[in-house]
A and B are shown apart, each in its own frame.
Chain A
Amino acid sequence: MGGNKADVLQGTLDLMVLKTLESLGPLHGYGIARRIEQVSGETIQLNQGTIYPALLRLEQKGWIKSEWGMSETNRRARFYSLSRTGRKQMERATENWERVAATMARFLEPASSETN
């Protein structure tokens, strides 16, 4: 993949957001976007703005909640946090994702050893 900008699939972005909120607790949109960039080691370059429609979608589904709060720089910002159903959904999605990843890995392994 190298330095190519990876397209972010809708489902994966959702899971990244949920996972971020699980590990860091309540966070504003900017914080979530930055965290996703950092964790992905800059392989994913998303326009930070696209996080907002995604956050709205998750909120409409009832997986996250939001309320106004104060940022570390004392700026009023909207903070998002994981809801109970969101946590369950995240666990389900994580499990799914791990299974898919493991399966894919088993398919990919012998192929890579042959080329080496």
Chain B
Amino acid sequence: MEWIRVLLNRFVSLFRRKELDARLDEELNAHVDLAIAENVRRGMAADEARTAALREFGGVTQVREDYRVQRGLPWVEQIARDVRFAVRQLRKSPGFALTAIFTLALGIGAATSVFSVVNGVLLKPFAFREPNRLVVMREAEDQAGKERTIVPFNYRHFQRLRQNTKSLEDMAILQNRAVSLSPDGDHPYRVGGLAASPNLLRMLGVAPILGRDFTESDAVKGATPVTILSYSMWQTLFQGNPHVIGQRLRLTGESATIVGVLGPGMHFPQFALAPKIEFLNVAPAREMQIYIPLTPDEYALKDDTGDYNYKTIARLKPGVSIEQASAELETMQRAYSASAHLPIAMGIAMTPLVKDVASGIDNALWMLFAAVGTVLLIACVNLANLQLARATNAEHETAVRAALGASKGRLVMARLMESLLLACVGGAMGVALAFAGVKLLLSLVPANVPRLEEVHVSLPVLVFALGLSVVSAVAFGMLPALKSLDVHPQAAMQANSTRTGSMQKGGRARNGMVAAQVACTLVLLIVTLLTLRSFSHLMRMDRGFDSSHITVAQVDLLAPKYDDTKPGFKEAKLAYADRALAALSQLPGVQSVAMTSATPMTGETWVNYLERPDHPLPMAQLPLVNVRWINAEYLATMRIPLVAGRNLTATDRANPLVALISEKTAREAFPGENPIGRAISNLVPDTDRPVTVIGVVADTHINGLKDDAAMLYAPYWAFTPWTVSFLVRSSQPGNVLIPEMRSALWRIDPQVTIPALKSLDDQVSDSVATERFQTIVLTSFGAAALLLALLGVYGVLAYSVSLRQQEFGIRIALGSDKGTLVGLVLRQAAYPVLLGAGAGLVIALAAMRWVRSMLYQTPVMDPMAIGGSILLLLAAAAVAAIVPARRAASVDPMRALRME
């Protein structure tokens, strides 16, 4: 405690220097007076008394100095002096100061914004108890000669593993369920529902802030329906009313009792059911969550070979590694597959929760982070160059300081302080910009990126910005500061003009920095152009369908009358589809109306094994198809060509067990055969009868632009799903019909929910939101890097030309023509630029391995991207060099010579 008191005392003294100096002076005077008085009393003469008193006192100056050192904080005072000096120096060149601050503010602001997203999405630990012990588990199908397929969990497999595992503390099973909420008298809307085993929240280490957690008895069949609300749900529906516990809420038409409310920090992260299955665009805002207990139905409790429809999350026991746990569960799965004679040997796939949630976006984000870091680095190199020039100009002054005895450390510190000051001001402005930058990024970032609600400028982000500012200051200030050590006081002070000498000396460092800058820029440009090429391939590829002039409406039949426990639910679903198709085709300008069971671009769903009664195969060798339930107008509306056989017709309604298959399905399931007329079994729910293939249609990328799954289309007359998507082709642009479609769909049944209603063009465009985000942000970083490099090359050349004015004047006087001089300067520029470009090319080639996975149908050695980048860079360098070169050629020899 004492040292705090001392420090405080010393600190306060910093602000009372004058007063305390006066006090010390008076005290010392009093001391001498008292001593003289005593000496006189002892009989000395006045002169003698004074001399003796001063002799006994010792060195007054020394005492004063010791006293001051003891009094204040010498290093603080030193820093304050350096800061004041730096401020004075910077005010002398406001142009430089403003440029530096502005560049740094933008650089640090951009880097901090990107880091906020990286931190929120990738780095920040979940607000769960010991989140690094949480893992996501999926099952794996091992088929001879095939790659391992990762599939969602089967309920029975989950139950068995949970009972027997020794390496896991607990496992929870869950399912995302679309839930419709109908506020009084209004149309229902869809919210995210999470049906989970009652142990989920306890396993995560999360307790409700109001009410209670689920208990095992809540998940028993026939139990009173209960629900737990997320914080934002509670705020939105009940305005944070604390007496909400015990109230009832109508979920999908059924009443449920609210038993708990979760805290504001609880966001259950979205992770994929299986790698290829995405819940794109139709997923509602994640914060609007409702938790319900997962009650397994009889089917789930019996089915051992299908029903892979669940997500599981587990907690490792303390000290157990993920490898140990997966080894244990893998063994259990294999043993069970063998003993229960499962048709496919099952395994296990385990990934840490944080990694699983971020998969799919982590590469893109890290790449952007690297890109923004590169831009900041280039900006720092620019500033270092400017600082170097300033240090060279200040050589004379540095020499004076050195001659007066300033230590090396003090000289470096004095120059570095300027950079630190610039970086701190720039950093503070950068943080202010980051608040806006994060908003901008969040508006660009695709909505399906997980954990976006956790992205904001937080304490770790501020610490990052501070660290970044200091690192930048050292990065751009250290080299110039160290350069000032090379100054020889005598030489520097003798030379009244250091022009030619310092030109030689600083020149190499400056050229080195230009080369580094050019190298960084080229790497970034190549990556940017590759990404642009990849994105344009993605957007311009042949999708196999025509999305223009189509509006898509997804309808979820979530009202009670469509529930499979109610009599007549099949007829109700079919009737809704029929009436909707009829009503939509009556809308103005409509050419055709199609129906399908999965909104385009929402990933692979309803994935079935394709079984042929005439050609039985072991399950492990069966091809997989995505099943879609459509109407006869589907092909015409989507403009998908029929390759063989015939389309559905109205007459098929009487005997609806027919199917169309895509060319890929035909290749995989009927290799070398004519599939028309062949039978496929076990396809339509609730019937054992097979369907007959009547036609083959072209392949499409209907599940996602990068997806090329094998498809099978069957008429909705055979089975009407609970999710029906209507595709309306009209003469008008795709988003004109939206309001009319919504009212038409609700006129038929006001109780259905419409989670997606937009033009199909928008739906396609939204499906590549991650790629677009990456492309836009990378392009802007690439442009910024190019601009900075241009400024860097210009700055260095312009400076060296200004130093060599005299030389150019003499050359002109001696008869050099302008062309020669321009060539001279351009050659000088070409050397570091070409060197840097070469280095950049080498770095880019080395980094390509990392970029490859992010490119779509674009080779990393794409000549357009690499050649284009080099050309762009050289053009920018030429533009930057031509202005100083012309200035060199237009030097007036007389004025240049008189400058001496």
Contact = CB atoms under 8 A, between A and B. Distances in A.
Contact of B28 (A31, A52, A62, A75): A52
Given A30-B31, A30-B35, A48 B23 contact: no
B34 interface: yes
Nearest to B40: A73
Given A28-B34, A52-B27, A71-B30, A60 B57 contact: no
A73 B39 CA distance: 13
Contacts of B24: 52
B566 interface: no
Interface in B64-79: 66-67, 69-71
Given A49-B59, A50-B63, A60 B9 contact: yes
A97 B27 CA distance: 31
A30 B60 contact: no
B323 interface: no
Contacts of A71: 30, 34
Contacts of A3: none
B671 interface: no
A58 B28 CA distance: 18
A59 B9 CA distance: 9
B66 A50 contact: yes
Contacts of B686: none
A28 B27 CA distance: 9
B34 A47 contact: no
A101 interface: no
B634 to A, nearest CB: 87
A28 B29 CA distance: 12
A35 B733 CA distance: 103
Contact of B5 (A29, A53, A62, A73): A62
B5 A49 contact: no
Contacts of B70: 53, 56-57, 60
Contacts of A28: 30-31, 34
A29 B31 contact: yes
B58 A50 contact: yes
A61 interface: yes
A71 B41 CA distance: 15
B456 interface: no
A76 interface: yes
- Please indicate which of the listed interface residues A33, A47, A60, A71 has the most CB atoms of chain B within 10 Å of its own CB: A60
Interface in A24-59: 28-31, 33-34, 47-50, 52-53, 56-57, 59
Interface string A57-70: 10111100000000
The binding surface of chain B is classed by DSSP as: helix
Contact of A47 (B10, B27, B33, B58): B58
Contact of B27 (A48, A73, A78): A78
A50 B9 CA distance: 20
B147 interface: no
A38 to B, nearest CB: 12
B30 A78 contact: yes
B30 A60 contact: no
- Please indicate which of the listed interface residues B10, B34, B63 has the most CB atoms of chain A within 10 Å of its own CB: B34
Contact of B66 (A53, A59, A60): A53
A47 B59 contact: yes
A73 B41 CA distance: 11
A8 interface: no
B62 interface: yes
A101 to B, nearest CB: 25
The binding surface of chain A is classed by DSSP as: helix
A102 interface: no
A77 interface: yes
B67 A52 contact: yes
A53 B30 contact: no
A77 B29 CA distance: 9
Contacts of A56: 67, 70-71
A20 to B, nearest CB: 15
B34 A53 contact: no
Contact of B58 (A31, A48, A57, A75): A48
Chain B interface category by residue count: 20 to 34
A28 B37 CA distance: 14
A75 B62 contact: no
Interface string A67-96: 000010101111000000000000000000
Contacts of B28: 49, 52
A53 B56 CA distance: 16
B34 A73 contact: yes
Contacts of B37: 73, 75
B45 interface: no
A31 B58 CA distance: 16
Interface in B202-239: none
A30 B804 CA distance: 67
A59 to B, nearest CB: 8
B62 A49 contact: yes
Nearest to B58: A47
B6 interface: yes
Nearest to A31: B34
Contacts of A34: 38
B614 interface: no
B2 interface: yes
A75 B33 contact: yes
B59 A60 contact: no
A48 B57 contact: yes
Given A28-B34, A49-B63, A78 B23 contact: yes
A26 to B, nearest CB: 14
A60 B13 CA distance: 10
B26 interface: yes
A47 B57 contact: yes
B58 A77 contact: no
A57 B6 CA distance: 8
Nearest to A46: B58
A49 B58 contact: yes
A30 B38 CA distance: 10
Interface in B768-815: none
Given A50-B63, A61-B2, A30 B10 contact: no
Contacts of B67: 52-53, 56
B49 to A, nearest CB: 13
A76 B25 CA distance: 12
A50 B57 CA distance: 8
Nearest to A85: B2
Contacts of A48: 31, 35, 56-58
Nearest to A54: B70
B27 A77 contact: yes
Contact of A60 (B5, B23, B26, B63): B5
A52 B30 CA distance: 12
Contact of A30 (B23, B34, B66, B69): B34
Nearest to B60: A49
A52 B34 contact: no
A56 B24 CA distance: 10
B15 to A, nearest CB: 15
Contacts of A33: 31
A30 to B, nearest CB: 4
Contacts of B60: 49
Contacts of A29: 27, 30-31
- Please indicate which of the listed interface residues A34, A73, A76 has the most CB atoms of chain B within 10 Å of its own CB: A73
A29 to B, nearest CB: 5
Given A48-B57, A50-B58, A73-B37, A30 B5 contact: no
Given A52-B67, A77-B34, A60 B10 contact: yes
12 contacts: A33-B31, A47-B57, A48-B31, A49-B60, A52-B28, A52-B63, A52-B67, A56-B71, A60-B10, A75-B34, A77-B30, A78-B23
The 6 closest A-B pairs by CB, nearest first: A47-B58, A49-B63, A77-B30, A60-B9, A30-B34, A49-B58
Given A30-B31, A56-B70, A71-B34, 12 more contacts: A28-B30, A30-B34, A47-B59, A47-B63, A49-B62, A50-B58, A53-B66, A53-B70, A56-B67, A59-B9, A62-B2, A75-B34
Interface of A: 28-31, 33-34, 47-50, 52-53, 56-57, 59-62, 71, 73, 75-78
